[in-house]
Chain A
Amino acid sequence: MGIGTEPFWSGIAEGRSAVRPISLFESANFPVKVAAEVKDFDPKRFIEQRKSLKVMARDIQLTVSAARMGMEDSAIEIAKIDPTRLGISLGASLISMSIEELSPSVRYSLTESGAFDIGKFGSDGMNLLFPLWMLKYLPNMPACHISIMYNAQGPNNTLTTACAASTQAIGEGLKVIQRGDADIMITGGGDAKVNPLNVLRYYFSKCLSASARPPEKVSRPFDRDRDGFVVGEGAGIVILEELEHARRRGAKIYAELVGYGTASDGAGSLGQGFNGRGLAYAAESALDDAEVNRDEIDYISASGLATVLADRAETAGIKSVFGAAAGGIPMSAIRSMIGYPGASIGALQLIGAIMTVQRGVLPPTINLETPDPECDLDYVPNTAREKEVRTAMVNSFGMGGHTASLILKKFV
């Protein structure tokens, strides 16, 4: 949707779609032709050291850039805080190899007949890769880069649970602070899924849409004619801080994170078999953790994976938590606008929910043209809605069956 929180918020609050024809690689002969890409991203704007940039795959660049923005926004003065109580908890996933980067080594190792010769690769071909090559692709590297940038010596974890990754990372960050092991946690996640290897991998899961509709109409969570998700990329960072610590330094406070729950469907390893039970348990666990009653939830940021099965499962899960009251809680899926940006989705959902609490506007679920009888809740169809939201829930659920739920409150 853009670089920065305001472009993101105005995009989702206006119900705009960030889905376009794929431009990051040539997808001419491939059934999937659309994606939600980060446009006009210049990592040099956020990462000064050329040496560092060289060892950052796009996923890492996006995450580190978002961390830069988040830390600047927080106005934390690094020199004044205890570095051992500044930690990091991020969601990430497998970072795909760059085919262009590997190609010279592979081509060098081909025999005359064009077959790959691993002997030649081992003795010579591999040396065409630069020595720090592997570091570009390790999922814990965003957390490592950020720790160096901010001298963050506290607890440091990277979670790789797909759709739930950054939601869990943020939740775990909350727990680290609550248990007294840190005062500030840089949390969230980043991912860049718009590349051949990732798109293929999702395609094989049969959860990716291959629709021929115009790009902005492809992502349609909860709509009767949905046929899968749109691949995307992005990064979201949320700075969590212990309240007294924040007050003492006169920090600007966006909202309060009051609860976290996580569970599993016990199904969904290959994108199939979702049942909504895991989402229900995560939500109940979060409500319990937050000591918030069900009837206090004013808005839910839904996962909205947009497969037939997943959205029905999500709906069933929400109904099992909220009962008859489920229909009265507006629940929208920003994936309808930004696709599935991999491990960053939970963080972006949380940022959207924080802005909702601040601005009193619910982003819509766009492309909801024909209701599915089995998805009969209020998904804030197509148009944003003004509503005062004091307590919001963010749910993440999807590939692998991991589920996570966060609850935030307007800070008073």
Chain B
Amino acid sequence: MNRRVVITGIGMVTPMALGVEENWKHLLKGDSAVGYISLFDASTFPTKIAAEVRNFNFADHFPTDGKLDFAGRNTQFAILAADMAFKDARLPGYDFDKRRFGIYLGSGEGKQDFFNFVKIIGESWNGQSVSNAKFVELGEKVFHPIMEQEQEPNMAAAHLAEIFHAYGPNSNCLTACAASSQALGEAAELIRLGKADIMISGGTHSMIHPLGVTGFNLLTALSTANADPTKASRPFDRKRNGFIVGEGAGILILEELEHAKRRGAHIYGEIAGYGTTADAYRLTDAHPEGRGAIAAMKMAINKSGLKVEDIGYINAHGTSTVVNDKIETLAIREVFKEYAYKVPISSIKSMLGHLIAAAGAVELIVCLLVIRDGIIPPTINYEFPDPDCDLDYVPNVARRKQVDVALSNSFGFGGQNVALIVKRYRS
């Protein structure tokens, strides 16, 4: 059986805006969602900036009887984005087999009760070491029971299954920055295999908390260009100095083609190819010749049956780290050869920051919008060309171009690489 997978609904919650069209408007204008961290007092941290979903009150957007109040921000973003996507796909009220309706997310962890956590550590000191006995005794009394449980990364997928009555396959993966792309790829495979007809897929993450920022700062992965937040994320620019952590969710409704046609669904595009590889090199550093990235792109292209010249746009991983952008460029040149200089490439992380596990899904939605509207969002803050990054990154200004096929790259911390190709749906 040759089952084809199309996208029939999209939703997103990002630091730029709630909702797809609002986001798209700002992305095409080249706006930046980066600002000073407000979710905790980061005034003395090396990095004081991030891309936050500001003034977010879940109850304003989604009916909740209080049960989801203590779910992590990541879960709340996912629920909202999934609700948007489900409605966008015109599925509410449509009678379909819920056993063939599943969920596959790339979701990060929920929110830690950091201030209670450090308070208890402080109070558990017995003069020489931390008393674990005291820690659990205090923890039992002080920690919020629901908030604690809501930290596990499967909670978003678990809640979505309950809310949407999705009784089919239900998975969550956490391959860092590649997670939601990987979830989308595997969700598509489940549909192709005949295990489901509709999958809610994509990802969500919210790491703008003291331990998240601390971890990235200790690795010197984040930009510390605090003086000018909206200029800090500058993928492929010679003065790039690290990524900006963001938060949010991107959700896509993947659907088997015949199922979509039978109900007259609107089709945004088709999943044409999925490549997944590992660098098998180092814990943090990408392989210097980009072998994993190259292999992932080639695998996706092979699976799609297309040629590199068919690809009209590349949505780069483009994190704004010195290493990623250089190696990604190298890898694109190796895969695309002379055509690498002709294909427009852009990184929306220049505007949204890095949504970590959610990045891939948001970026795939952007690829679909590029196909729909024939406009490519820019890589902003592109001022100083880097000889190592000599391709066309659609600098600063959006560009009109008819695009029928787009490739999206997501390269995770830990060397997991995913490449996804979406194309204009043609029967």
| Cα(A172)–Cα(B299), bound, Å | 18
Spot the interface stretch: B28-36, B162-170, B244-252, B381-389: B162-170
| Cα(A132)–Cα(B130), bound, Å | 22
A122, CB-defined interface residue at 8 Å? yes
| Cα(A111)–Cα(B279), bound, Å | 45
A57, CB-defined interface residue at 8 Å? no
Among all A-B residue pairs, the 7 with the closest Cβ atoms: A134-B215, A204-B145, A122-B44, A144-B414, A264-B170, A156-B278, A400-B158
A-B contact count (CB 8 A): 289
List residues 98-127 of chain B with CB under 8 A from any CB of chain A.
98-99, 102-103, 109, 115, 118-119, 121-125
B24, CB-defined interface residue at 8 Å? no
Do residues B157 and A158 form an inter-chain contact, with CB atoms below 8 A?
no
A213, CB-defined interface residue at 8 Å? no
Q: In the assembled complex, which residues on chain A have CB atoms less than 8 Å from the CB atom of B162?
A: 266-267, 269, 401
Do residues B166 and A87 form an inter-chain contact, with CB atoms below 8 A?
no
Which of the residues B131, B136, B186, B414 comes within 8 Å of A199, measured between beta carbons? Answer: B136
List residues 139-158 of chain A with CB under 8 A from any CB of chain B.
139-141, 143-145, 147-148, 150-158
B211, CB-defined interface residue at 8 Å? yes
| Cα(A192)–Cα(B162), bound, Å | 28
Which of the residues B132, B170, B218, B219 comes within 8 Å of A99, measured between beta carbons? Answer: B132
List residues 21-65 of chain B with CB under 8 A from any CB of chain A.
40-46
Minimum CB–CB distance from A25 to chain B (whole Å) comes to 4
Minimum CB–CB distance from B149 to chain A (whole Å) comes to 5
A226, CB-defined interface residue at 8 Å? no
Q: In the assembled complex, which residues on chain A have CB atoms less than 8 Å from the CB atom of B157?
A: 161, 400, 402
Do residues A162 and B170 form an inter-chain contact, with CB atoms below 8 A?
no
Which of the residues B133, B182, B193 comes within 8 Å of A157, measured between beta carbons? Answer: B182
Interface residues on B, range: 35 or more
Do residues B152 and A93 form an inter-chain contact, with CB atoms below 8 A?
yes
Can you sample 9 A-B contacts with CB below 8 Å?
A94-B151, A134-B214, A140-B413, A152-B278, A154-B278, A159-B171, A264-B102, A265-B167, A403-B170
Q: In the assembled complex, which residues on chain B have CB atoms less than 8 Å from the CB atom of A179?
A: 189, 193
| Cα(A122)–Cα(B299), bound, Å | 43
Interface residues on A, range: 35 or more
| Cα(A64)–Cα(B125), bound, Å | 33
| Cα(A233)–Cα(B268), bound, Å | 45
Closest to A30 in B: B136
Q: In the assembled complex, which residues on chain B have CB atoms less than 8 Å from the CB atom of A139?
A: 153, 174
Q: Quick one: CB contact mask for A8-30 with B, threshold 8 Å, 1 for yes?
A: 00000000000000000111111
Do residues A152 and B280 form an inter-chain contact, with CB atoms below 8 A?
yes
Q: Quick one: CB contact mask for B307-321 with A, threshold 8 Å, 1 for yes?
A: 000000000000000
Do residues A118 and B276 form an inter-chain contact, with CB atoms below 8 A?
no
| Cα(A100)–Cα(B174), bound, Å | 26
A43, CB-defined interface residue at 8 Å? no
List residues 73-124 of chain A with CB under 8 A from any CB of chain B.
83-84, 87-88, 92-94, 97, 99-100, 102-103, 106-107, 109-110, 114-116, 118-123
Minimum CB–CB distance from B274 to chain A (whole Å) comes to 9
Do residues A119 and B43 form an inter-chain contact, with CB atoms below 8 A?
yes
Q: Quick one: CB contact mask for B397-427 with A, threshold 8 Å, 1 for yes?
A: 0000000000000001111100000000000
Q: In the assembled complex, which residues on chain B have CB atoms less than 8 Å from the CB atom of A27?
A: 132-133, 136
Do residues A151 and B283 form an inter-chain contact, with CB atoms below 8 A?
no
Given contacts A97-B211, A196-B139, contact A157 B173 (CB under 8 A): yes
A277, CB-defined interface residue at 8 Å? yes
B161, CB-defined interface residue at 8 Å? yes
Do residues B171 and A269 form an inter-chain contact, with CB atoms below 8 A?
no
Minimum CB–CB distance from B56 to chain A (whole Å) comes to 21
| Cα(A84)–Cα(B295), bound, Å | 8
| Cα(A323)–Cα(B88), bound, Å | 40
Q: In the assembled complex, which residues on chain A have CB atoms less than 8 Å from the CB atom of B152?
A: 93-94, 160, 162, 201, 399-400
| Cα(A9)–Cα(B189), bound, Å | 35
B195, CB-defined interface residue at 8 Å? yes
A2, CB-defined interface residue at 8 Å? no
Do residues B149 and A160 form an inter-chain contact, with CB atoms below 8 A?
no
Q: In the assembled complex, which residues on chain A have CB atoms less than 8 Å from the CB atom of B13?
A: none
Q: In the assembled complex, which residues on chain A have CB atoms less than 8 Å from the CB atom of B173?
A: 157-160
Do residues B278 and A132 form an inter-chain contact, with CB atoms below 8 A?
no
